[in-house]
């Protein structure tokens, strides 16, 4: 499976609820977004499904991702939980389903939940499968369970302040796409003077620079926003080309600035 099966740019919906997420998805689709990322634990699948259904954009033209929550990893639960997600999302299938967190020690062996996820794909509930928040060791276990060619992506926190190079290089060596979430580090990178200077040179915004940086490294990005102007601006990052000097300056911003590492869910990070 080639890396190109994952859209390089999409809309994230983490923390967006109710009418806010409906408006965000609807506006994004109007502006030309064609990939939307949600998860069972976000509590917004029904609203995301409603926004897509009412958008006038054909279902097959939207790349839709959801993630299985930890409570549903047992093989007897995983398939039924995904069927419930499909009902909420008003669709017969999703394009990509991820295991949300490795949750070591939650009682379900990795091999069991990866196998159940692969079965869900065989049943046509999802076109592709993948993982999220897996370190190198756990990604190796997932590969052993289902094969590298069956893991479309590992969606991980990755920003100019947390560049995750070791993991990213490993994933790329396995032809597993890197999807970066929290690319703007909860907005922290937006005030960065280095990004501001690069942005000024390109007549762009710092957010566009951070997103362009990740895409230029070959990563997919899924920024979220509730504001039409920001949704439109983020989309412009697809056409922003940074110079080698720009990329080197951003590479120097690494500070292991992790924002998300929930106890009991997160692995030992690389």
Q: From first to last of the 270 residues of the chain, give the pLDDT tens digit.
A: 344 489 999 999 999 999 999 999 999 999 999 999 999 999 999 999 999 999 999 999 999 999 999 999 999 999 999 999 999 999 999 999 999 999 988 999 999 999 999 999 999 999 999 999 999 999 999 999 999 999 999 999 999 999 999 999 999 999 999 999 999 999 999 999 999 999 999 999 999 999 999 999 999 999 999 999 999 999 999 999 999 999 999 999 999 999 999 999 999 999
How many Å separate Cα 251 from the centre of its chain?
Answer: 21
Q: Does residue 42 have an active-site annotation?
A: yes
Q: Are 179 and 185 in contact (CB under 8 A)?
A: no
Q: Are 163 and 173 in contact (CB under 8 A)?
A: no
- Nearest alpha-carbon partner for 17 in 41, 51, 47, 40: 47
3-state secondary structure (DSSP) of residue 34: coil
Confidence (pLDDT) at 1: 38
Report H helices in 74-205.
Answer: 75-89, 110-122, 136-146, 165-173, 193-201
- Nearest alpha-carbon partner for 55 in 85, 86, 87, 23: 23
The CA-CA-CA angle for residues 115, 179, 77, to 5°, reads 30
Indicate the domain borders of the chain: 3-184+219-225
Domain 3-184+219-225 has CATH 3.20.20.100: yes
Q: Which residue has the tokens 């911003």?
A: 253
Which one of the listed residues 42, 73, 93, 113 is annotated catalytic? 42
- Nearest alpha-carbon partner for 95 in 105, 104, 103, 85: 85
Q: Are 33 and 206 in contact (CB under 8 A)?
A: no
Confidence (pLDDT) at 3: 46
Confidence (pLDDT) at 2: 42
Residues listed for the chain:
270
- Nearest alpha-carbon partner for 143 in 97, 192, 94, 110: 110
- Nearest alpha-carbon partner for 133 in 160, 108, 110, 107: 110
119 burial (CB, 10 Å; 0-12 / 13-18 / 19+) is middle
What is the rounded CA–CA span in Å between residue 210 and residue 225? 15
What separation in angstroms does the CA of 112 have from each of 73, 81, 115, 118, 145?
Answer: 8, 15, 5, 10, 8
Q: Centre a 10 Å sphere on the Cβ of residue 264 and count the other Cβ atoms it contains.
A: 10
Radius of gyration of the chain (CA): 18
CA end-to-end span of the chain, whole Å? 25
Q: Are 145 and 108 in contact (CB under 8 A)?
A: no
Q: Is 100 annotated as a binding residue?
A: yes
């Amino acid at each position: 499976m080639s890396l190109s099966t994952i859209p390089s740019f999409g809309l994230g919906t983490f923390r967006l609820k109710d009418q806010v997420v409906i408006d965000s998805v609807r506006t994004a689709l109007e502006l030309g977004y064609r990939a939307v990322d949600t998860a069972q634990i976000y509590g917004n699948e029904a609203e995301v499904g409603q926004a897509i259904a009412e958008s006038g954009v054909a279902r097959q033209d939207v790349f839709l991702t959801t993630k299985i929550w930890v409570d549903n990893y047992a093989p007897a639960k995983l398939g039924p939980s995904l069927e419930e997600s499909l009902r909420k999302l008003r669709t017969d299938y999703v394009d990509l389903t991820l295991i949300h967190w490795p949750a070591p020690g939650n009682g379900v062996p990795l091999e069991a939940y990866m196998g159940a996820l692969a079965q869900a794909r065989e049943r046509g509930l999802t076109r592709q499968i993948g993982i999220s928040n897996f370190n190198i060791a756990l990604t190796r276990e997932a590969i052993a369970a289902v094969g590298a060619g069956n893991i479309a992506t590992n969606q991980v926190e990755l920003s100019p302040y947390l560049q995750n190079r070791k993991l990213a290089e490993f994933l790329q060596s396995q032809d597993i796409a890197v999807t970066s979430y929290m690319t703007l580090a909860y907005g922290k990178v937006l005030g960065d003077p280095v990004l501001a200077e690069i942005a000024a040179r390109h007549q762009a915004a710092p957010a566009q620079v951070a997103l362009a940086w990740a895409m230029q490294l070959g990563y997919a990005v899924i920024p979220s926003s509730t504001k039409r102007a920001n949704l439109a601006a983020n989309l412009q990052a697809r056409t922003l080309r940074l110079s080698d000097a720009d990329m080197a300056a951003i590479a120097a911003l690494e500070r292991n600035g992790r924002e998300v590492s929930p106890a009991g869910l997160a692995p030992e990070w690389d």
